């Protein structure tokens, strides 16, 4: 088969044997995410024409104002995954607690739980900037046939069986991994089909882009300030000043840096000592993708996927991107933390 014209559905079937538990359930789960993404994409693309932009009037568990599209995307993903009876539990960044899903005859036999950020960067919708969805999939650890518990969701990132994101931009793409590399699929809106457009995606080992909200500079730890200075200093041979590129949509920033080479940083700050990004909904899935693409992800000192979660909405500092750039940032963090 010509891989250039391979559809996402064909790719999933062809590579199903790579899944740790090849029952077809994980394949159907990814297909469900694909379907929900198409529905959300349709709504995002007409956001300027209908009353779907702006604040919904509520706040989520994070204390953040919910956008109308946040609520819509959350409902669509939960509805799609629930109706197909593929998962036994769902946790969303928009919900206070996890959701238990019962299978046929309330038997709780499904094997997987999904953690999802339904619409990352949604505050950018009103100004037509790219947004995305992030998802993370684990195999349950509690006994099959019983309702899921918090333990099924508080797993280290290194236990993920699949993770990915959908970027709703100039084109709509699904980028995901099942632990065998990273592949990207672009939606052909004319026929509603995703085609393999970015096979075997890789972070360049080095890059020249750093993505950080420098408006918070005064609140950054010294190690981050020193790394930014390093990025901006010209070397004796006229090399280095790096380019600062920060969109404010995690999916978009990571997607660009994976293709072009770069580092994304959202560190702890004096106002947010644990950082802003959520370990389970954002950092773990992006870390899994980064490592599968030859990149690296840490909290500045420790591998993200080795952190033991203790809360459903736990926040952590996040350094993610080209391997050499993350390693260099970690060096500055280590130096600044020494007494």
Q: Phi/psi of residue 200, each to 5°?
A: 50, 60
> Which region among 19-23, 144-148, 167-171, 189-193 has the lowest average model confidence (pLDDT)?
19-23
User: Is residue 336 over pLDDT 80?
Assistant: yes
54 confidence band (pLDDT: 50, 70, 90): very low
Q: Tens digits of per-residue pLDDT, 301-319?
A: 999 999 999 999 999 999 9
- Do 265 and 328 contact (CB within 8 A), yes or no? no
Please indicate whether residue 115 or residue 105 has the higher confidence score (pLDDT).
Answer: 115
Q: Name the binding residues.
A: 93, 117, 119-123, 213, 246, 276, 282
Which pLDDT belongs to residue 103?
A: 62
Three-state SS string over the chain comes to CCHHHCEHHHHHHHCHHHCCCCCCHHHHHHHHHHHHHHHHHHHHHCCCCCCCCCEEEEECCCCCEEEHHHHHHHHHHHHHHHHCCCEEEEEECCCCCCEECCCHHHCCCCCEEEEEEEEECHHHHHHCCCEEEEEEEEECCCCCCCCCCHHHCCCCHHHEEEEEEEEECCCEEEEEECCCCEEEEEEECCCCEEEEEECCCCCCCCCCEEECCHHHHHHCCHHHHHHHHHHHCCCCCCCCCCEECCCCCHHHHHHHHHHHCCEEEECCCCCCCCCCCEHHHHHHHHHHHHHHCCCEEECCCCEHHHCCCCCCCCECCEEEECHHHHHHHHHHHHHHHCC
Which pLDDT belongs to residue 102?
A: 75
Domains and CATH numbers, the chain: 3-198 (3.30.540.10), 209-337 (3.40.190.80)
Which two tokens mark 10? Answer: 């064909």
User: Is residue 131 over pLDDT 70?
Assistant: yes
User: Is residue 93 over pLDDT 90?
Assistant: yes
Mean pLDDT of the chain: 88
Which pLDDT belongs to residue 28?
A: 85
Percent of the chain with pLDDT over 70: 88
User: If you average pLDDT over residues 20-35, what whole number do you get?
Assistant: 78
Q: Name the binding residues for substrate.
A: 120-123, 213, 246, 276
Torsion of CA 100, 106, 112, 113, to 10 degrees: 0
Q: pTM score, two decimals?
A: 0.91
User: Is residue 168 over pLDDT 50?
Assistant: yes
Name the residue among 76, 72, 71 with its Cα closest to residue 60.
71
Please indicate whether residue 334 or residue 47 has the higher confidence score (pLDDT).
Answer: 334
Which pLDDT belongs to residue 57?
A: 47
- Do 219 and 266 contact (CB within 8 A), yes or no? no
Residue 160's beta-bridge partner residues? 138
> Which region among 49-58, 135-144, 178-187, 227-236 has the lowest average model confidence (pLDDT)?
49-58
Considering 21-25, 44-48, 79-83, the range whose residues carry the highest mean pLDDT is 79-83
Q: Tens digits of per-residue pLDDT, 210-248?
A: 999 999 999 999 999 999 999 999 887 778 889 999 999
User: If you average pLDDT over residues 162-191, what whole number do you get?
Assistant: 93
Q: Name the binding residues for Mg(2+).
A: 93, 117, 119-120, 282
Considering 10-14, 104-108, 166-170, 268-272, the range whose residues carry the highest mean pLDDT is 268-272
User: Is residue 263 over pLDDT 90?
Assistant: yes
């Amino acid at each position: 088969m010509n891989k250039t014209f391979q559809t996402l559905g064909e790719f999933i079937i062809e590579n199903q044997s790579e899944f740790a538990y090849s029952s077809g359930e994980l394949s159907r789960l990814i297909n469900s995410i694909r379907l929900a993404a198409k529905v959300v994409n349709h709504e995002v693309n007409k956001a300027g024409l209908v009353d779907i932009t702006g604040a919904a009037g509520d706040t989520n568990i994070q204390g953040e104002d919910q956008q109308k599209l946040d609520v819509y995307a959350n409902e669509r993903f939960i509805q799609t995954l629930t109706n197909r009876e593929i998962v036994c539990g769902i946790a969303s960044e928009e919900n206070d607690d996890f959701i238990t899903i019962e299978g046929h005859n309330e038997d709780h036999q499904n094997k997987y739980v999904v953690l999802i950020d339904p619409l990352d960067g949604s505050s950018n919708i009103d100004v037509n900037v790219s947004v995305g969805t992030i998802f993370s999939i684990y195999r349950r650890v509690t006994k099959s046939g019983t309702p899921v518990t918090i333990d099924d969701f508080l797993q280290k990132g290194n236990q993920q069986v699949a993770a990915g994101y959908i970027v709703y931009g100039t084109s709509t793409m699904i980028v995901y991994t099942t632990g065998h590399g990273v592949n990207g699929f672009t939606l052909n809106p004319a026929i509603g089909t995703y085609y393999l457009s970015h096979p075997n995606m890789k972070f360049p080992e080095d890059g020249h882009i750093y993505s950080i909200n420098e408006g918070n500079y005064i609140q950054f730890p010294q190690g981050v300030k020193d790394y930014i200075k390093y990025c901006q200093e010209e070397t004796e041979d006229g090399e280095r000043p790096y380019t600062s590129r920060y969109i404010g949509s995690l999916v978009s920033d990571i997607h660009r840096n994976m293709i072009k080479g770069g580092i994304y940083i959202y560190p702890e700050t004096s106002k947010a000592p644990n950082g802003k990004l959520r370990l389970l909904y954002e950092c773990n899935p992006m870390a899994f993708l980064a490592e599968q693409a030859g990149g690296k992800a840490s909290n500045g000192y420790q591998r993200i996927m080795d952190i033991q979660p203790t809360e459903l909405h736990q926040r952590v500092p996040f350094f993610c991107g080209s391997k050499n750039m993350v390693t260099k940032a970690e060096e500055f963090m280590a130096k600044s933390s020494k007494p």
